[in-house]
Amino acid sequence: MSANLNSVLLDGNLTRDPELRETSKGTSVCHFGLASNRYYEVNDEKVEEVSFFDVESWSKLAEACDKHLSKGRGIRVIGRLKQDRWQDKEGQNRSRVKVVADHIVFKPKISRNEASQADSEKEIENGKEYDLLEAEEREAAML
């Protein structure tokens, strides 16, 4: 049996501060909201469409999100969609879809021209934090 493709790439800004928790087994999990804007034209008028997503990260990535992110911060998320299903108090079936992050790029807090080395773009992969330059060098080495 083969798995189907389930992959998502989102770019946007946090709509709320991250909430870090621990599972009963001590694994860190972090939840936050992400707004992603789409711009297009209709009859020569610019239209903005905003979509809102719930994002979840785990383990070291969750801890890094809690440490570095706050409401308004720009990020890029690579992950997968996960559907949660449950019954409410009235016995009605409910569900919601969220993004489970596997990889997050933290965008600079200020514009590139003003960014200091300390505020450089960060990339988190498999729980390890890299400066964007290091991440680009790693990608080039893989080609």
Average pLDDT over residues 120-129: 55
Number of H helices, E strands in the chain: 2, 8
Q: How far apart are CA 84 and CA 95, in angstroms?
A: 5
Q: What is the pLDDT of residue 98?
A: 98
Task: Please provide residue 137's backbone torsions phi and psi, each rounded to the nearest 5 degrees.
Answer: -65, -40
More confident residue, 109 or 88: 88
The mean pLDDT of the chain is 85
pTM above 0.85, yes or no: no
The pair of structure tokens assigned to 102 is 């596997």
Identify the band that residue 67 occupies on the pLDDT scale cut at 50, 70 and 90.
very high
**Pair type for strands 28-42 and 19-22:** antiparallel
Q: Is 28's pLDDT higher than 80?
A: yes
Average pLDDT over residues 88-101: 97
Name the CATH architecture for the domain at 8-142. Answer: Beta Barrel (2.40)
Maximum distance among all alpha carbons in the chain? 56
Identify the band that residue 125 occupies on the pLDDT scale cut at 50, 70 and 90.
low
